[in-house]
Amino acid sequence: MMTSSLELRIPHASQIHRGKVTLIAAYLERGSSAKTQYALSIDGDELVVSPPFRTEQAFKHVQNGIGDILAIDCDELDNQGDTCSEHYNCCDCGGNQCGCRGCFSCNACHLCTGEEPNSE
């Protein structure tokens, strides 16, 4: 993430999953106030947060929040930003293969469960 003054620019926008862009936009909306409305736009191959931040502290806070979103590894992230924890949350058999469609242990991707991928 590069800065020009206190403007937050995120490179390689075309490589960022659409679900993560949705989560970033929602994060900025939650962080906006009546006085300052933050928005996300695309400039070339960069996501740009505008307007520029007034303080270094605010800049770092938002940069870290967006960094957390970009660090999501879920293989099943959808275009709304939902991950395995949203898709599979109605039960968790603890790996006993209950077969329930909403069971986290049975259906979540290996990145979310922390297990090695099946090599079948």
* pLDDT value of residue 113: 86
Residues 50 and 28: their CA atoms lie apart, in Å, by 10
Q: What are 2's two structure tokens?
A: 């590069």
Q: What is the CATH number of domain 2-70?
A: 3.30.70
Q: Where are the domains of the chain?
A: 2-70, 78-120
Residues 29 and 16: their CA atoms lie apart, in Å, by 19
Q: Is 87 helix (H, G, I), strand (E, B) or coil?
A: helix
To the nearest 10°, report the CA torsion of 48, 67, 12, 32: -20
Average pLDDT over residues 77-94: 90
- Please report the sign of the dihedral spanned by the C-alpha atoms of residue 96, residue 99, residue 100, residue 104: positive
Averaging pLDDT over each range in 2-11, 67-76, 109-118, which range is the top one?
A: 67-76
pTM above 0.85, yes or no: no
Residues 50 and 45: their CA atoms lie apart, in Å, by 16
Burial of 17 (0-12, 13-18, 19+ CB in 10 A): middle
